[in-house]
Amino acid sequence: MFLHLSQLSALLLAFSTGAVTAFPTYGSLAGYSREELDQIIPTLKVQSPTPPPGPLNDTSAKLVNDKAHPWKPLSKGDIRGPCPGLNTLASHGWLPRSGVATPAQVINAVQEGFNMDNSLAIFVTYAAFLVDGNLVTNQLSIGGKTPATGPDPPKPAIVGGLNTHAVFEGDASMTRGDAFFGDNHSFNETLFEEFVAFSNKFGGGKYNLTVAAELRWQRIQDSIATNPTFSFVSPRYFTAYAESTFPINFFVDGRQGDGQLDLTVARGFFQNSRMPDGFHRANRTMGTDGLDTIAAAHPISPGSNQGVGNYVLDPTSADFNRFCLLYTNFVNQTIRSLYPAPTGILRKALNTNLDYFFGGIADSGCTQIFPYGHN
């Protein structure tokens, strides 16, 4: 969930003479008017949220590219998105191969397949689900829209799932382009060649924390110099640095465990959504280990471009010294803007999933927010 966690649903709605005729079970309900929601929700099969899974009992390295989880090519209709980790878990069957899953399935998959820390898995999964998932059916997509579900819905609906820009997915990805240039979810060979070049220059042919720090800085500078709409504020400010650590923490074989990612293995994950033969997950629970090292190498404050090359700081954004502001702004600004006045089933589902979301940071000292009251 390279976060890009990242962002998780597809949204296609068919309208016939103003009436809803089809809506995917994993389509986000964010951004719809009260009248549209009154049409959509009765057509959906309500699935109550289930509590997130707890931590693994066994967090040792183990074979995860096994007989029960072989890589398979995509079948017709399967969905993949901008997150190489989630794409890989789906292509190996740790997630449903369709690319549509529940939050609990995502948390189970990232824990079992990659040994991701439980609190991190909960926090990033529910952050993505709240903005890009279907809170009534409890379904989300790891990629974008699919033509099988009909034409695009009217604005202001979100259409792209994990591919949706500036809600959870963001600019300056390592192997995906900025949304401004037209494709923020497909593997980008030019960017991967930059990944390889930096690994050769700074890592002796491997991707490691030294490379990650230099490449993260370069990708930020690339976007400042070329993307007039570049945005580097919370939550992307956090997920960009986390994204840089994930290949080291989750794509290096757990029997190796030295923080040195082979470039052929990297291409397998990033481009082909494929673990190498005999791949073992990390040999201990992992999170964003190394993030501080990467961020400290080339410090930059949150901000955004006001035209090409004109990067303006944003003092209202959360940063590493104000983590709780990340949570506060996400709930009070992002979620409330997408769901300004939910009622009934939707409001209940929002409150439940917001509780689960906060559970991922319950020990951080942040104060829980209840934008829609209590169920």
| Residue 104 belongs to some domain of the structure | yes
Burial class of residue 229 (count of CB atoms within 10 Å of its CB; 0-12, 13-18, 19+):
middle
At 298, which CATH number?
1.10.489.10
237 touches 317 (CB < 8 A): yes
| Residue 177 belongs to some domain of the structure | yes
More confident: 178 or 353: 353
| Residue 19 belongs to some domain of the structure | no
Count of structural domains, the chain:
1
pLDDT at 19: 35
More confident: 154 or 184: 184
| Residue 2 belongs to some domain of the structure | no
Q: Read off the pLDDT of each residue in 82-110 and give the average, rounded to a whole number.
A: 96
Domain that holds residue 201: 45-360
| Residue 82 belongs to some domain of the structure | yes
Residue 169's pLDDT band, with cuts at 50, 70 and 90, is low
pLDDT at 109: 98
Residue 101 has pLDDT above 70, yes or no: yes
The CA distance from 151 to 132, in Å, is 18
pLDDT above 70 coverage of the chain, percent:
87
Q: Pick the range with the lowest mean pLDDT from 4-13, 222-231, 240-249.
A: 4-13
| Residue 369 belongs to some domain of the structure | no
| Residue 12 belongs to some domain of the structure | no
| Residue 325 belongs to some domain of the structure | yes
Q: Pick the range with the lowest mean pLDDT from 103-112, 130-139, 161-170, 355-364.
A: 161-170
Per residue in 329-348, pLDDT (tens digit) is 999 999 999 999 999 999 99
| CB-CB neighbours of 359 under 10 Å | 17
Residue 5's pLDDT band, with cuts at 50, 70 and 90, is very low
The CA distance from 104 to 69, in Å, is 18
More confident: 50 or 152: 50
pLDDT at 22: 65
Q: Read off the pLDDT of each residue in 265-288 and give the average, rounded to a whole number.
A: 98
Per residue in 204-220, pLDDT (tens digit) is 999 999 999 999 999 99
